[in-house]
Amino acid sequence: MRTKNMFKVKKLIVALMGCLFFTVSLAQKPNILFVFADQLRSQELSCYGGVNIKTPNLDRLADEGLMMTNAISTYPICSPFRGMLLTGLYPLKSGISNNDHPLNPELPSFAKSCKKEGYNTAYIGKWHIDGIGRTAYIPEERRLGYDHWQALECTHNYFKSLYFHNNEVEPKYWKGFDAEAQTKAAQDYIRARDTEKPFFLTLSWGPPHDPYIAPQEYMDKVEPKKLILRENVTEHLMEEELQNNPRFKIPERYIHSHAKLRVRAKDENIIRKRYAGYLAATLALDDYIGELLQTLEEEGILDNTIVVFTSDHGDQLGSHQFYGKNVPFAESISIPFLVRYPKVLKQGTIADNLLSPIDMFSTVFGMANIDHHEIDGVDLTPAIVNEAVDARDAILLMNLTHFNNTSLINGLDTYRGIQTKKYTYARYEDKTPWLLFDNENDPFQVNNLVGNSAYTGLIKTLDKKLDKLLIEAQDPENTKEIYDRIMRENPKRIMVNEFRKVNPDL
């Protein structure tokens, strides 16, 4: 009997030791706080050389950790970025071929991977990958593994902003400016966390995306007349080429409804006013980053938390006289990527490795030593930390459809392209070269090298690289095929039928 009882005691001790080891190992895993803004181009942050405002808290992330100078938004509009970020898959694999198109909720995701590793998961802010309706309730099974939930599909009504709290089907309103309220919700989540388990918290802000507003205290800090505009705001040749020689027909009602928006990309007074609101919102976000860092410090977990800041894409704000985003110019595709994690990253690390949205979480997970599902992205941690050979020599660029606001307003056709450290190249679907820029010698991209016979060989080389990336992305480079797929997945996309009426080949 004694032997039997001793055996039971030993089993209990072993079990308790196992639980203790599991708890300790979980406690040693780093927390992850991943914050991203909407439509914030890298050029505005002072750590990236911005000249109009100071962003000391975001600069702190760069000073105390990593700043990546070649973070590129592959498909620079909202939903495709989010699909790539949360799954690590290219748009046609995740299903997000355009804004307001549903992502397959059965897909693996980084939040699901974190849960398998023992993490608590939380999402706060703008979602925009459900595709069922911008104010519709998103049930638990469509949240890609996030448990704590304070989110809405999409709104840019920043001072009267809805969200759903966990499984409550009646929406609530964020108090005041939604980005500030969402930051406070993130702080509350961190303070009330389960201290025996690490957390994976994603915070998604709507600003500085238009309507370019912020609390008045920040609006008062930026004077439109004193702003230094980018040198390419007056460049208009490429925009005029698209307006005067459209490669597709825009349905009549969209021509009229978007005519006034074209003016906003040409009128300097309007550009300055919008730019001022954009920068005011950026100042607010910088303060909120500071508050998040302070909360992590107060909780004693700052150095055991991987803090990441990025954005889904940029904003033309009149550069090249284009409206919005979704064009392969630096203002649209160049985004910040800042990481603080002193256990892996040296202070003041500046890396010029090419980074796509599909690489972001795999790189963060590499720093955290967390396993995840098979993805298209790569972990850039070894190349960053060891200054090794780059994992990528080119990033894919794309616009898969015609029916988003920026395509309609700018007369923009579908395109595919690539970004290297030196060049930006884009071509139309029929393989006709559209743009080629030498970004080292022409940083404002005003000298299009397409048509210059000295670059014929380079274009052929870039085309081969692009073809290889399209195979990896399972992109047929065929708008008709993509539109057929969209209609199968979401028959309510009436805009596809509208485009096909005036463009029978689509």
Neighbours of 330 (CB within 10 A): 22
SS3 for 29?
coil
Given a contact cutoff of 8 angstroms between Cβ atoms, the answer to whether 88 and 65 are in contact is no
Residue 60 CA to its chain's centroid (Å): 21
The continuous run of DSSP H or E covering 37 comes out as strand 31-38
Cα 56 from Cα 401, distance rounded (Å): 38
Return the DSSP state at 72: B
Among 343, 395, 332, 389, smallest CA distance to 366 is for: 343
Phi, psi for 501 (deg, rounded to 5): -65, -35
pLDDT tens, per residue, the chain with 506 residues? 444 454 444 444 444 444 333 334 565 899 999 999 999 999 999 999 999 999 999 999 999 999 999 999 999 999 999 999 999 999 999 989 999 988 999 999 999 999 999 999 999 999 999 988 999 999 999 999 999 999 999 999 999 999 999 999 999 999 999 999 999 999 999 999 999 999 999 999 999 999 999 999 999 999 999 999 999 999 998 888 887 777 889 888 888 888 888 888 999 999 999 999 999 999 999 999 999 999 999 999 999 999 999 999 999 999 999 999 999 999 999 999 999 999 999 999 999 999 999 999 999 999 999 999 899 999 999 999 987 778 899 999 999 999 888 888 888 999 999 999 999 999 999 999 999 999 999 999 999 999 999 999 999 999 999 999 999 999 999 999 999 999 998 887 888 888 999 999 99
Cα 455 from Cα 270, distance rounded (Å): 37
- Specify the pLDDT at position 26: 60
User: Under 8 Å CB-to-CB from 25, ≥6 apart: which residues?
Assistant: none
SS3 for 193?
coil
Cα 267 from Cα 260, distance rounded (Å): 11
- Specify the pLDDT at position 205: 98
Continuous H helices in 212-354: 216-219, 237-244, 252-257, 259-263, 268-298, 330-333
Euclidean distance between the first and the last CA atom of the chain, given in angstroms as a whole number: 81
Biggest CA–CA distance in the chain, Å, is 94
Given a contact cutoff of 8 angstroms between Cβ atoms, the answer to whether 479 and 425 are in contact is no
Question: Environment class of residue 396 by beta-carbon count within 10 Å: exposed (0-12), middle (13-18) or buried (19+)?
Answer: buried
The continuous run of DSSP H or E covering 424 comes out as strand 423-428
* Residues taking part in catalysis: 78, 128
SS3 for 377?
coil
User: Under 8 Å CB-to-CB from 28, ≥6 apart: which residues?
Assistant: none
Among 374, 377, 340, 349, smallest CA distance to 361 is for: 377
CATH number for the domain formed by residue range(s) 30-392: 3.40.720.10
Given a contact cutoff of 8 angstroms between Cβ atoms, the answer to whether 145 and 115 are in contact is yes
- Specify the pLDDT at position 18: 43
Given a contact cutoff of 8 angstroms between Cβ atoms, the answer to whether 106 and 132 are in contact is no
Domain boundaries, the chain: 30-392, 399-502
Question: Environment class of residue 158 by beta-carbon count within 10 Å: exposed (0-12), middle (13-18) or buried (19+)?
Answer: buried
Q: Does domain 399-502 fall into CATH 3.30.450.40?
A: no
> How far, CA to CA in Å, does 267 sit from each of 57, 317, 332?
33, 11, 19
ω before 491 within 30° of 0 (cis)?
A: no
Return the DSSP state at 247: S
The pTM score is 0.93
